[in-house]
Structure 1
Amino acid sequence: MVAAALLGAERRRPPGGSVTALLDAAAAETVRRRAGARAVVPGQRPEPAPPDDRAPLPTAAEQRLATLLADRALSGPSPAGAAAGRRGSGPDLGELLPQWLAEANAQGYRAPAALLPALLDAARARTDLRAETLAFAGPRALWLARQNADWKFALRDGVRRRLPEERPEEAEQLWQEGLFAERVALLAGLRQRDPEAALALLASTWQTERAEDRLMFLDSLRQGLGPADEPFLERALSDRSRTVRATAAELLAALPGSALGARMAERARGCVSLGHMGRRGRTDRTDRGGSSGEVPPGTAIVVEAPHTCDADMQRDGVIPKPPTGRGERAWWLGQLVEAAPLEVWSEQLGGLAPAQIVTLPVADGWRDDLHAAWCGAAVRQRNATWARALIGEPGEPFAEGPGDPAKLLSVLPEEERGEWAARFVAAHGLSEAFRILGVCGVPWPLPLGRAVVDALEIARDAGSYPWSFSGVMGLAERCLDPADAERLAPLAAVPDEKEGESPGAGAYWAESFQRLVATLRLRSAMLAELREGRQEVVQEESEG
Structure 2
Amino acid sequence: MAHGPLNTASSPVWADLVAAALVGTERRAPALPPADGALGDLLGRLAPGEDQAGALLGVAAAVALYRRAGWLPPLSAAQPFPPCQPDDLPPCSARAGAHLSQMLAGTHAAALPEWLAALSAVGRAVPASLLPALLDHGWAKASLQPLIAPALGARGRWLAGLNPDWDYASGAGAAAAQEDVTLLWETGSPAARLTLLAELRASEPDRARDLLVASWASEKVDDREGFLAALAQGLCMADEPFLEQALNDRSERVRKASADLLATLTESALSGRMVARASQYLRWDADAKPQIEVTLPEEYDKAMQRDGIVRKPARSGMGEKAWWLSQMIEQIPPDAWCKLWDASPSEILKAKMPKEWRDLLLSSWSEAARRHGDQEWLEALIALRRADKKLGELADLLPYLPPARREALTLELLQAYQPLAGDHPALAVLRSLAGPWGHDLSIATLDALRRRFHADDKALRTDWHLRAAMLEFAERMPADLAGQAGAMISDEMRELPYWGGTITQFEELLHFRDEMLRALRES
TM over 0.5: yes
Which deviations, in whole Å up to 9, do the C-alpha atoms of 1:367-417 show, x marking residues without a partner?
11111111121122222222222233774899777xx64443332112222
- Pick one of 97, 105, 112 that aligns with 2:120: 105
Q: Quick check: 1:187 aligned with 2:197?
A: yes
Which deviations, in whole Å up to 9, do the C-alpha atoms of 1:90-140 show, x marking residues without a partner?
xx4322333233223222223322232333233333334333333222111
What's the CA shift for 1:202?
Answer: 1.8
Q: Quick check: 1:423 aligned with 2:412?
A: yes
Question: Which of the two has higher C-alpha Rg?
Answer: 2
1:388 alignment partner in structure 2: 379
Structure 2 CA distance for partners of 1:57 and 1:176, relative to 1, 3 Å: closer
What's the CA shift for 1:29?
Answer: 5.3
User: Partners in 2 of 1:206 and 1:505 — Cα distance?
Assistant: 61
Counterpart AA for 2:130: L
**Segment of structure 1 superposing worse, 373-382 or 388-397:** 388-397
What's the CA shift for 1:35?
Answer: 5.5
Indicate if the aligned counterparts of 2:262 and 2:268 stay in contact, CA closer than 8 A: yes
SS where residue 283 of structure 2 aligns?
strand
SS where residue 506 of structure 1 aligns?
coil
Counterpart AA for 2:334: L
What's the CA shift for 1:251?
Answer: 1.6
1:471 alignment partner in structure 2: 468
Counterpart AA for 2:104: R
- Pick one of 162, 169, 174 that aligns with 2:174: 162
Indicate if the aligned counterparts of 1:430 and 1:455 stay in contact, CA closer than 8 A: no
Matches within 5 A, 1:222-233: 222-233=232-243
What's the CA shift for 1:195?
Answer: 2.1
User: Partners in 1 of 2:256 and 2:185 — Cα distance?
Assistant: 25
Structure 2 CA distance for partners of 1:348 and 1:180, relative to 1, 3 Å: same
What's the CA shift for 1:264?
Answer: 0.9
Structure 2 CA distance for partners of 1:521 and 1:20, relative to 1, 3 Å: farther
Which deviations, in whole Å up to 9, do the C-alpha atoms of 1:431-489 show, x marking residues without a partner?
26565335535332123213322443344323313755233110122222233333333
Counterpart AA for 1:478: E
Matches within 5 A, 1:448-463: 448-460=441-453, 461=455, 462-463=457-458
2:308 alignment partner in structure 1: 317
Q: Quick check: 1:40 aligned with 2:55?
A: no
Indicate if the aligned counterparts of 1:306 and 1:333 stay in contact, CA closer than 8 A: yes
Unaligned runs of 5+ in 1: 6-11, 76-91, 275-285, 291-295, 497-503, 535-544
Matches within 5 A, 1:376-525: 376-392=367-383, 395=386, 405-427=394-416, 429-431=420-422, 436-460=429-453, 461=455, 462-463=457-458, 464-465=460-461, 468-495=465-492, 506-525=496-515
2:216 alignment partner in structure 1: 206
1:137 alignment partner in structure 2: 152
Structure 2 CA distance for partners of 1:394 and 1:316, relative to 1, 3 Å: closer
Which deviations, in whole Å up to 9, do the C-alpha atoms of 1:4-49 show, x marking residues without a partner?
x9xxxxxx97966999978975884574477578613254333432
Indicate if the aligned counterparts of 1:494 and 1:510 stay in contact, CA closer than 8 A: no
Counterpart AA for 1:316: D
Q: Scaled by the length of structure 1, what TM-score is found?
A: 0.76
Structure 2 CA distance for partners of 1:127 and 1:246, relative to 1, 3 Å: closer
Counterpart AA for 2:444: A
What's the CA shift for 1:143?
Answer: 0.8
Indicate if the aligned counterparts of 1:303 and 1:363 stay in contact, CA closer than 8 A: yes
User: Partners in 2 of 1:380 and 1:342 — Cα distance?
Assistant: 10
Which deviations, in whole Å up to 9, do the C-alpha atoms of 1:196-235 show, x marking residues without a partner?
2222222222223333332232222222211112122222
2:131 alignment partner in structure 1: 116
2:184 alignment partner in structure 1: 174
What's the CA shift for 1:358?
Answer: 2.0
Indicate if the aligned counterparts of 2:89 and 2:154 stay in contact, CA closer than 8 A: no
**Segment of structure 1 superposing worse, 180-189 or 253-262:** 180-189
What's the CA shift for 1:420?
Answer: 2.5
- Pick one of 77, 98, 107 that aligns with 1:66: 98
Counterpart AA for 1:474: L
User: Partners in 1 of 2:75 and 2:390 — Cα distance?
Assistant: 67
2:38 alignment partner in structure 1: none
SS where residue 75 of structure 2 aligns?
coil
User: Partners in 2 of 1:353 and 1:475 — Cα distance?
Assistant: 37
Indicate if the aligned counterparts of 1:394 and 1:420 stay in contact, CA closer than 8 A: no
Structure 2 CA distance for partners of 1:126 and 1:208, relative to 1, 3 Å: closer
Counterpart AA for 1:57: C
Unaligned runs of 5+ in 2: 1-13, 27-52
1:125 alignment partner in structure 2: 140
1:538 alignment partner in structure 2: none
Q: Scaled by the length of structure 2, what TM-score is found?
A: 0.79
Indicate if the aligned counterparts of 1:430 and 1:472 stay in contact, CA closer than 8 A: no
What's the CA shift for 1:53?
Answer: 4.8
Matches within 5 A, 1:22-33: 25=60, 28=63, 31-32=66-67
Structure 2 CA distance for partners of 1:213 and 1:494, relative to 1, 3 Å: closer
Identity percentage of aligned residues? 33
User: Partners in 1 of 2:112 and 2:169 — Cα distance?
Assistant: 18
Indicate if the aligned counterparts of 2:333 and 2:369 stay in contact, CA closer than 8 A: no
- Pick one of 73, 84, 87 that aligns with 1:52: 87
2:297 alignment partner in structure 1: 306
Which deviations, in whole Å up to 9, do the C-alpha atoms of 1:225-267 show, x marking residues without a partner?
1111212222222222222222222221111111111111012
Q: Quick check: 1:254 aligned with 2:268?
A: no
Q: Quick check: 1:365 aligned with 2:356?
A: yes
User: Partners in 1 of 2:415 and 2:344 — Cα distance?
Assistant: 29
2:278 alignment partner in structure 1: 268
1:147 alignment partner in structure 2: 162
User: Partners in 2 of 1:512 and 1:218 — Cα distance?
Assistant: 42
- Aligned residue pairs total 471
User: Partners in 1 of 2:520 and 2:388 — Cα distance?
Assistant: 41
2:35 alignment partner in structure 1: none
SS where residue 231 of structure 2 aligns?
helix
Structure 2 CA distance for partners of 1:202 and 1:511, relative to 1, 3 Å: closer
Structure 2 CA distance for partners of 1:375 and 1:472, relative to 1, 3 Å: same
User: Partners in 1 of 2:25 and 2:164 — Cα distance?
Assistant: 48
Structure 2 CA distance for partners of 1:358 and 1:406, relative to 1, 3 Å: same
Give the CA RMSD over aligned residues.
3.5
Structure 2 CA distance for partners of 1:67 and 1:263, relative to 1, 3 Å: closer
